[in-house]
Copies of this chain bind each other. A is one copy, B any other.
């Protein structure tokens, strides 16, 4: 199938075509770069929401409810759920997703799980590329939902237009959030399970922490929303907070800036990957055998300089 055919199928929100296009990108099959370049002009229309938080905070439930609410407003949603499943445990942990099965049959919702499978590099880029597919297919909202709070997952939600951090009242949870670097990335805090003891104290503590931050008129001050995900309470307020952050970002031009930065970083990453693979193939393999045979190890920076010089000679010689 040629990528032009994909484009037509994508624009028709054909779920089989969408799934196939995503697979091509996930497995880096032939033509994936061309496909991504082709859909590019049709992107930047979807609004991207990142949802993260400590395990057990209720991320799946809140994501579920939020997606449902969006569809009742007549809008479409793509959900990209990132599971840090290891190769050892296989797909077992994807079971969480089963709770979303009522959404899976909703024609206005597309759900895709991504497993990181311990592959550190590229998960962030892949999630972003998959979001582009859904974006080009015309989904109005894209939600990135992470299972854990690993560094690569943080990177994913950071690329969203609005980032939602879900915490619960249990003591120490907000401290954990700070440790994991969640404080800086949140545009909206959700205090889920807010009927539990300690919710108001935890919110007060959060507000105190946030008040220490410097801000000017271009700085968004994170909103805090109370929810009870399992009872579908506070979800409307969450969507209002997201809209409010979106409005602010558009007004202050930070949305455009953020997206431009995302694009720059993306291109930068592609250049890096391509150049490094070129060096690896042409120069590094020799270096590897040199190291293995040499009895006197060459210091690292000296080695690096030598390799860079070799690479440049290689380019000049062509």
User: For residue A150, which residues in chain B have a CB less than 8 angstroms away from its CB?
Assistant: 149-151, 180
Contact A176 B55 (CB under 8 A): yes
Contact B316 A267 (CB under 8 A): no
User: For residue A315, which residues in chain B have a CB less than 8 angstroms away from its CB?
Assistant: 312, 315-316
A252-266 vs B, Cβ < 8 Å mask (1 yes, 0 no)? 000000001001101
Contact A179 B93 (CB under 8 A): yes
A298-314 vs B, Cβ < 8 Å mask (1 yes, 0 no)? 01111110011001100
Rounded to whole angstroms, the CA-CA distance of A68 and B150 in the bound complex is 32
Contact B213 A181 (CB under 8 A): no
Residue A220 is within 8 A (CB to CB) of chain B in the complex: no
User: For residue A308, which residues in chain B have a CB less than 8 angstroms away from its CB?
Assistant: 271, 274-275
Contact B84 A179 (CB under 8 A): yes
Rounded to whole angstroms, the CA-CA distance of A93 and B176 in the bound complex is 11
CB within 8 Å of B: which of A264-318? 264, 266-268, 270-272, 274-276, 279-280, 284, 287-288, 291-292, 297, 299-304, 307-308, 311-312, 315-316
Rounded to whole angstroms, the CA-CA distance of A183 and B150 in the bound complex is 15
Residue A86 is within 8 A (CB to CB) of chain B in the complex: yes
Contact B118 A181 (CB under 8 A): yes
CB within 8 Å of B: which of A128-151? 147-151
Rounded to whole angstroms, the CA-CA distance of A213 and B184 in the bound complex is 39
Rounded to whole angstroms, the CA-CA distance of A302 and B40 in the bound complex is 11
Residue of A89, A151, A213, A279 contacting most chain B CB atoms (<10 Å)? A151
Rounded to whole angstroms, the CA-CA distance of A284 and B266 in the bound complex is 12
Contact B279 A264 (CB under 8 A): no
Rounded to whole angstroms, the CA-CA distance of A268 and B283 in the bound complex is 11
A-B contact pairs, 25 of them (CB 8 A): A33-B301, A37-B300, A41-B297, A55-B176, A84-B181, A86-B178, A86-B181, A86-B184, A87-B184, A148-B179, A148-B180, A149-B150, A150-B180, A263-B291, A263-B297, A264-B288, A264-B291, A266-B300, A267-B300, A267-B307, A268-B276, A271-B276, A271-B307, A275-B276, A316-B316
